[in-house]
Amino acid sequence: MFFASSHSKIKGIKLNEGLEKKKIIYMPDFIVIGEKGDIHFIEVKYREKGMTDYRDKNKINDLNKTWPDARLIIVSLNKPHFSISRVRGFVRTGILYNLENDKFIKINKEILERYQHLVIKYYK
């Protein structure tokens, strides 16, 4: 699996106004390419209490205009500490799912359990 930050090469470049600029501004944080060549765009939000702030929801609505198929991962002090949804689905329903149950991005439950301690430590 290949995992890369999508913003690493474009910082500091002056961009012309237009749809392409909006796509770059709202580009998800990461691109994950699976062993079979499947591509996933990932937006990660670290929020102590989850997605409760209207500003977060506005940002996700903007993301939905250019990257509706991206996956949204929320890292939170609330359980489950790692939640996921497609951006489009979250905008429509407001529902996040437990990351360990995601059928497209398979993450070992033991890894999530190991890293939940870091989430708790970070927020405390």
| Interval 77-91: pLDDT, tens | 878 888 899 999 999
Report residue 12's pLDDT band, with 50, 70 and 90 as the boundaries. low
For tokens 């989850």, name the residue: 50
pLDDT of residue 53: 65
For tokens 């690493």, name the residue: 8
Q: Do 60 and 72 contact (CB within 8 A), yes or no?
A: yes
In angstroms, the Cα distances linking 24 to 14, 42, 105, 109 are 12, 14, 23, 33
pLDDT at residue 15 tops 80: no
Query: Euclidean distance between the first and final Cα of the chain, in Å?
Result: 32
Q: Do 52 and 67 contact (CB within 8 A), yes or no?
A: no
What tens digit of pLDDT does each residue of 39-58 get? Answer: 889 999 887 766 666 677 78
Mean pLDDT, rounded, for 9-36: 77
